[in-house]
Each structure stands twice: as C-alpha cells, then as structure tokens.
Amino acid sequence: MTIKEKFDAMDYGPAPENAAEALAWLIDQGDRFGHFINGAFTAPQDGFDSRNPATGEVLATLSQATQDDVDAAVKSARTAQPKWEKLGGPGRARFLYAIARLLQKHARLFAVLETLDNGKPIRESRDIDIPLAQRHFYYHAGMAQLMESELPEAQALGVCGQIIPWNFPLLMLAWKVAPAIAMGNTVVLKPAEYTSLTALLFADICQQAGLPKGVVNIVTGDGAVGEMIVAAEVDKIAFTGSTSVGRRIREATAGTGKALTLELGGKSPYIVFDDADLDSAVEGLVDAIWFNQGQVCCAGSRLLVQENIADRFYTKLKARMDKLRIGNPLDKSIDIGAVVDPVQLETITTLVAGNQAGETYQPSLRLPPQGSFFPPTLIQGLAPSDPLMQEEIFGPVLVSCTFRTPAEAVELANNSRYGLAATVWSENINLALDLAPKLVAGVVWINGTNMFDAAAGFGGVRESGFGREGGWEGLSAYTRPKGKTKPLAPVAAFAGKQDSHSADPVDRTAKMYIGGKQARPDSGYSKPVFNSHGGLLGHVGMGSRKDIRNAVEAAAGAKAWSKTTGHLRAQILYYIGENLSARADEFAHRIDAMTGKKAGAKEVETAIERLFTAAAWADKYDGQAHGVPMRAVALAMKEPVGVIGALCADEAPLLGLVSVMAPALAMGNRVVLAASGPFPLAATDFYQVLETSDVPAGVVNILTGEATELAQPLAAHMNVDAVWSFSSTDLAQTIEEASALNLKRTWVAHAASLDWSHDHSRKFLLEATEVKNIWVPYGE
C-alpha cells in the first residue's frame, strides 16, 4: 500500500475519554442524591432518574424536592445572608477564589460528568463549559474584592432564587451563583431535572471550600420545584430557560416586590455578506448551530446569506456538514453529541417533520443505534414568515433565506420576537460596524460567534428577556441601592366646593400632548382640578386606552431621536431648561396653587437642575471596552431602550415629570408620560416649554387622567419597551402582569421609592439604557 493509498483509506479512530473517575464519584455518593441544604446533603428521597442521553443508562437517582425542602433551603439562605454580607467583599472574595481553584483542580471530573449527564461533546465541556465556569468565579472573586470601593452605594438584595436550564448546567450555575454570592447574597438554586449532577458535585466543592453553611443551597426537581422557589420568600428570581416559563414567572412575581431577571430564548440571525471569508464563515456556522447540538439560547439558528454568493456558500456548507462526526459524546473527536433527553429529541423531530417549506438537507451520517441523536440539518429557501424561521427549535437545525442589500439583511434579522444575539460576517469592518447598532440584540459578534466571557455582559431584549449576566453591567441584577425603601404615601386630589364647577364659564380644559400637538381625550371626558381651598383651577382630559395607543404610535414613529447624537440631545435639554427658567415664577405659582404648599419655587429650581444634569450626561454616560481574554474587544455600547412609558409621581407635579423625562431623553428614548393624577396642570403647562425648545414631535407625549386607567394599557402595549411607575397608587401588580405580554422591562417605585429632592440620575440612566456587547476580534 502506498502512502497515498493509506492516507485515502485512513479511517478516523475514536479517542474516548475515560469515564471511570466520574462513575466512581457517583458510586461513592451511593448513586442517590438528596438536596444540599444548610451546608449538608439531605437523605435521598423519592425522586427520578437522571440518564445519560447518549445511551439511555441511568446515572443516578435524584430527589424531587417537596415544599418542606424548599422552605428549609430558603430558611437556611435567609439565616446565612446577613453574616455572609457582613463578612465584607474581601472576605467573600477568598471563598469565590477557593471555589474557582477547586473547579480548576477537578476540571476533568466536572467535564466528564457534564458530558455523561448532558450528552454534549467532551471537547466542549472540557474546553468551554468548565473553563468558563472557573473564569466566572475568578472574575467575580475580583468583583467581591472591589465592591466596597467601586460600588459604594450598592448592597446585597438578600436571598436569590435561581432556576437554570439543562443546556449548560455548570456554566449557568456559575453565571448565577458567582455574581450573587460575590455581592453578599445567598442563593437557593434549582438545576434542570435532566442535568443536576454537576450542580451536586458543585455542592461538594462548596463543602471543600469551607463555604459558610446556607450561602449556597441546591434543591433538585422539576418545574413544580421551580414554581415553589418562585413563590417562596426570596428577594429575587433569576431564571434562564424557555420564554413561555419566563412569562409565567413574570406573571407569578407581579406585585410581589421580587427583583427579576430573565434570560430566555432566541432565534439569532447569522448574516453572511458576499465579501466575507466564506470558509471562516462556514466554520463559524458549525460553531453557531452545531455547538451543543444547537441547544444554545443564542445559537446562530437563522442563516441570512447574500443572494449573489448563496449557491457557493450552501455548497461549502453542505460539504462541511458531510464531514461532521456525530456519536459518543465522550469521544474527543466528535463534533455532535446527544440531544439532552428523548423529550427534546421528540420536540425537534416533530418541528422538522411538520415543515413542508424550503429544501431540507441532512448528510448521510450513521447515527448511533441508541441514544438521543439528531443529524445536523439545513433547511434553505424559507420565507421570513415560515414557522421555522420564527420558532426556536433548540436543536441542530439551521434555517436560512437570502438577502440582497444590507438594509434588507437588517430588516430580516430584526423580524423576530426575540433579540438575544446576532452574528455578522464581512471583511468590510465599516459595514459590520454600521450594522451592529441596527441589529436588535443584546450581543453582536463580528466575524466570530458564540464568544462569551465573564467580563462581558450577556442578555437580550424583546422576548429574549431582560437583565445582563456578567461584566459590571451584570452586578446591578444582584444589588440594590443602600438605605431603606419606604412605601409611597398615597397622594389624593383636593375636593371642590359645591359651586366651583360653574364658577368659570370659560372652558379651561387642558388638552393632552401627542405627536407634538395638543389633543383632546378620546373619551370626551374631563375631570376638574381643585386647589386646597376647593376652588376650581381647571379641567384635564381623562386619558384612556385609545389615547395611549395614539401616544405610543407617535413615540414609535419618532425613531430619528434615538439616532441623534448625545451632543444634540444635550443642546435640546439645555434649551428646555432655559425656557423653563424663563417661566419659573409662573410654574412655581401653579404648583403652589395645586398643592397648597409654598414649595413651588424650589421644585422648579430643582427641575431645571435635573434638565441640566441630564444634558450633562447625554454625551458622557459612556460604554466600555471590556478586556476579554482573547484577541478581541467587547464593546459595551449603551443604547436607548426605545419607547418608555412612565406614570409620573403624584406629589411632585413638575419635578416628577422632568426627573423622568430628562434622563430618558438624554439617552435617546422617546417617552409617553402620564402626568401627576391629583396635580396635573404643571405638566399640561409644560407643553409650551417643549414646543419652544425644538423637541421633535412624538419624542415627548403627555397624557392626563387616572393612573389606574392608564397603567394597564401602557404596560400591555406591544410597542412600549419599558414601563416605569412612580405613582402613589400601588400599580406594581397591574404593570408587571401586563408587561408579561412582550416581556418588557419594568421599574415600579415601590421597590425603590424615590425622594425627588435627591438626584437619582444614575439609576435613571441605567434604566434608560440597554447594554449591547459588540465583539470585534482583532490581530492574529
């Protein structure tokens, strides 16, 4: 046989990783696990089997937590929390560092156990999941160390309930646990029922690290246990998983005062331009959609390829697909392992079988005779509205269509209810950086994909959820401002004297302000506004659902504002401040007349101050270039949230409105504001200031009426991206429940009641922006 013949005939030789150590660890534990509560394992109870999806073999039996178990875990976390927080950042940092070291020491055991339990290729658990989990503990050990000096205003939230999925079992645990305990919280974590083993091994590591009892508690079980954690006396819920469960958790926590972050599904676009390095783009795609069998929330599952290179690209892609190896996940040479569970395999199979559109390609690979395996699949030539272009498949299935121009690529990319990640391939960096801000996503990767690091925040917009994990931006999800929050005192309108309705024959009904014009309320109804002596000051319209619709439409149409420069927005805010200043006395008298106090002058002065502060911030609330451990920068760009609806404070008629409007505008948002209920006339007078200050039509819209009427339609509106409420009526439940529809961000004052005399600009700026991390690899 010649060397050439030998070379051609060469078959690939399997290189399986040895599972003996991991299996021995399971046997050591008796193959049966209880929960990890208050620093110790409980006795195993009735439960369920955890299986190896590649073989169907039972690996261990796990306990299904009962209500008593969840209560005990929460109690243990609650008891441990004050002491853990008081230990101080540097004290906590030592423990995080010790955990990181132990994860490193036992890296191989973790990697093998993860692969046995989840079915992912050992190459991935060894080189990605476990090292990144270590990195999160190292990174957050540093955050704990720096907390007191760098976040002097922040304190722990308390007890955090954390519910994680099965696609990156240990890594998701690290994303949740590391920042939480670094900031002084304690946790009750539930791993997914399919993949709990590395979480239980992690509990063992916590014991080895000498972590104080109760700081980390782990309970196992299915969604019912998740529901118990959501309902428990915890201060925060952090969830990663499906959008449908995320929505249920949003509804279940509505009005409870629990903080919430949701990291949900996606249908992330992978855009290939004709000038891309096509071979690299194909290799990137292997990583985007076949990494972890496509069971990745940010998987590049929607290929958009430029029409003029589409045929060439598909040919290369199919040739690469033919060479993918599927099989034993413990084999170091394998590309595609097993799908997590027969249930998930069934979901994928049904979705693909139900599709009639496009052209399906699957290489003729030999699938292992047993276990949950699904071949790599390409479905090309779909229309943007085809179900498989919209629905998350969560499997090794790539769907695709073509585009002609960059503008069309953006339009197709954003044609999704999700907004988690996006990938752009082009050798033209100008084009890529032009596209990045236009893509609706929390993360954009340029000429690369699935790049993650603890230093760069990860998270989505739209129905991909809210909140970021990682980086400085992730810490706000596990902290709250120092100081006690007090409930808002209800503020009531003054009643009128009996004859006050007819006192003035001239109609003094202030209109609403929509799309740069004064508008009558759709309801045709108005309400009187009285002073503290019962004298009539005027009438205001009673806003309703229809007015909200018009105002949101106007705000949605004023998109250009979000593209203006911070410099320009600052000029306009200064101008508003100047014009308000010119009419300061008039506003002061109006406020005094409405409230019956003599604080109007001070309120106007502070409102002017707020406008100037927001103007100052407009071009200074910068992003960051995160130092990630590779030849790349992750540019954390601050972007406007979009359309923000806010119910303004009742007690501060002008300042309550300006304090909300100014920072929102400074960051490029458009706003729909509901004026103070009892004292609305300063807001309606304010239109004239806006009209003389070059504020483009639709950027600020102001409604009057009852907060109880306006809150629900505002929070439920699909074109509103965030809702804030500072109303003295407790609207948390109404707003948070309604927001579940499109999973918009909410901020309701009862969780952080505000003293309007203080400048809370930083908090407002944080709430008025989304962080988008744009990854740009560079150099060799």
User: Which residues form the catalytic set?
Assistant: 263
Q: Give the tokens for residue 716.
A: 């439920």
HSE-up (13 A, CA, CB side) for residue 361? 17
Instruction: Write the interaction track for ligand NAI spanning residues 110-149; mark x where CB under 6 A is met and - where it is not.
Output: ----------------------------------------
Instruction: Report the residue number, 110 or 166, with the smaller CB distance to ligand NAI.
Output: 166
**Residue 248 contacts ligand NAI per CB under 6 A:** yes
- Minimum Å distance from CB 193 to ligand NAI? 5
Q: What sign does the dihedral 570-573-579-581 (CA atoms) show?
A: negative
With CA atoms as reference, report the closest residue to 606 among 554, 652, 567, 671: 652
Strand pairing report for 700-703 and 670-674: parallel
Q: Give the tokens for residue 99.
A: 């955990």
Of 242, 362, 564, 729, the one binding ligand NAI (CB under 6 A) is 242
Strand pairing report for 269-272 and 259-263: unpaired
Of 170, 218, 264, 352, the one binding ligand NAI (CB under 6 A) is 264
Percentage helix, strand, coil, to 5, in the chain?
Answer: 45, 20, 40
Instruction: Report the residue number, 190 or 626, with the smaller CB distance to ligand NAI.
Output: 190
**Residue 193 contacts ligand NAI per CB under 6 A:** yes
Q: Are 604 and 751 in contact (CB under 8 A)?
A: no
With CA atoms as reference, report the closest residue to 656 among 717, 751, 724: 724
With CA atoms as reference, report the closest residue to 698 among 665, 733, 724, 725: 665
With CA atoms as reference, report the closest residue to 128 among 292, 337, 309: 292
- Minimum Å distance from CB 199 to ligand NAI? 10
Instruction: Report the residue number, 261 or 704, with the smaller CB distance to ligand NAI.
Output: 261
Segment near ligand NAI (CB under 6 A); pick from 244-252, 303-311, 363-371, 509-517: 244-252
**Residue 190 contacts ligand NAI per CB under 6 A:** yes
**Residue 165 contacts ligand NAI per CB under 6 A:** yes
Q: What sign does the dihedral 266-272-277-278 (CA atoms) show?
A: positive
Of 47, 53, 158, 241, the one binding ligand NAI (CB under 6 A) is 241
Instruction: Report the residue number, 256 or 624, with the smaller CB distance to ligand NAI.
Output: 256
Instruction: Write the interaction track for ligand NAI spanning residues 203-232; mark x where CB under 6 A is met and - where it is not.
Output: -------------------xx--xx--x--
User: What is the spatial distance between Cα 40 and Cα 33, in angstroms, rounded to a whole number?
Assistant: 11
- Minimum Å distance from CB 162 to ligand NAI? 10
Segment near ligand NAI (CB under 6 A); pick from 237-245, 474-482, 518-526, 595-603: 237-245
User: What is the spatial distance between Cα 490 and Cα 475, in angstroms, rounded to a whole number?
Assistant: 32
Segment near ligand NAI (CB under 6 A); pick from 164-172, 302-310, 495-503, 758-766: 164-172
Q: Are 42 and 70 in contact (CB under 8 A)?
A: no
Instruction: Report the residue number, 167 or 306, with the smaller CB distance to ligand NAI.
Output: 167
- Minimum Å distance from CB 285 to ligand NAI? 20
- Minimum Å distance from CB 421 to ligand NAI? 11
Instruction: Report the residue number, 300 or 713, with the smaller CB distance to ligand NAI.
Output: 300
Spell out the residues 6+ positions from residue 165 whose beta carbon is closer than 8 angstroms to its own: 172, 192, 240, 241, 242
- Minimum Å distance from CB 760 to ligand NAI? 33
- Minimum Å distance from CB 190 to ligand NAI? 6
- Minimum Å distance from CB 120 to ligand NAI? 13
Instruction: Report the residue number, 252 or 607, with the smaller CB distance to ligand NAI.
Output: 252
- Minimum Å distance from CB 418 to ligand NAI? 10
Q: Cα–Cα distances in Å, from 27 out to 18, 115, 208, 600?
A: 16, 17, 19, 74
Of 72, 99, 113, 192, the one binding ligand NAI (CB under 6 A) is 192
With CA atoms as reference, report the closest residue to 545 among 519, 522, 576: 522
Q: Which residue is nearest to ligand NAI (CB)?
A: 226
Instruction: Report the residue number, 225 or 309, with the smaller CB distance to ligand NAI.
Output: 225
With CA atoms as reference, report the closest residue to 487 among 658, 221, 153, 732: 732
Q: Are 657 and 677 in contact (CB under 8 A)?
A: no
Instruction: Report the residue number, 73 or 164, with the smaller CB distance to ligand NAI.
Output: 164
* Residues contacting ligand NAI: total by CB under 6 A: 25
Of 184, 214, 265, 294, the one binding ligand NAI (CB under 6 A) is 265
Of 72, 133, 203, 245, the one binding ligand NAI (CB under 6 A) is 245
**Token match 């069971």: residue?**
295
Q: Are 441 and 268 in contact (CB under 8 A)?
A: yes
Q: Are 229 and 190 in contact (CB under 8 A)?
A: yes
**Residue 347 contacts ligand NAI per CB under 6 A:** yes
- For residue 291, count other CB atoms closer than 10 A to its CB: 21
- Minimum Å distance from CB 416 to ligand NAI? 14
CA distance from start to end of the chain = 40
Strand pairing report for 536-541 and 509-510: parallel
Segment near ligand NAI (CB under 6 A); pick from 101-109, 238-246, 472-480, 741-749: 238-246
Q: Are 373 and 338 in contact (CB under 8 A)?
A: yes
Q: Give the tokens for residue 571.
A: 């000029």
Q: Give the tokens for residue 50.
A: 């955890």
Instruction: Write the interaction track for ligand NAI spanning residues 166-185; mark x where CB under 6 A is met and - where it is not.
Output: xx------------------
User: What is the spatial distance between Cα 45 and Cα 232, in angstroms, rounded to a whole number?
Assistant: 21
- Minimum Å distance from CB 164 to ligand NAI? 6
With CA atoms as reference, report the closest residue to 777 among 666, 635, 605, 567: 635
Helices (H), 502-583: 545-557, 560-563, 566-582
Binding positions for ligand NAI, 384-413, rule CB under 6 A: 392, 394
Q: Cα–Cα distances in Å, from 431 out to 270, 273, 450, 519, 625?
A: 15, 9, 20, 42, 20
Of 134, 185, 240, 479, the one binding ligand NAI (CB under 6 A) is 240
- For residue 393, count other CB atoms closer than 10 A to its CB: 24
- Minimum Å distance from CB 558 to ligand NAI? 32
Q: Give the tokens for residue 10.
A: 């060469």
**Residue 297 contacts ligand NAI per CB under 6 A:** yes
Instruction: Report the residue number, 53 or 653, with the smaller CB distance to ligand NAI.
Output: 53
Instruction: Report the residue number, 74 or 699, with the smaller CB distance to ligand NAI.
Output: 74
Instruction: Report the residue number, 248 or 316, with the smaller CB distance to ligand NAI.
Output: 248
- Minimum Å distance from CB 194 to ligand NAI? 7
* 3-class DSSP state of 511: coil
Instruction: Report the residue number, 222 or 592, with the smaller CB distance to ligand NAI.
Output: 222
Q: Cα–Cα distances in Å, from 335 out to 326, 331, 727?
A: 6, 9, 55
Spell out the residues 6+ positions from residue 283 whose beta carbon is closer than 8 angstroms to its own: 320
The residues that touch ligand NAI, with contacts defined as CB under 6 A, are 163-167, 190, 192-193, 222-223, 226-227, 230, 240-242, 245, 248-249, 264-265, 297, 347, 392, 394
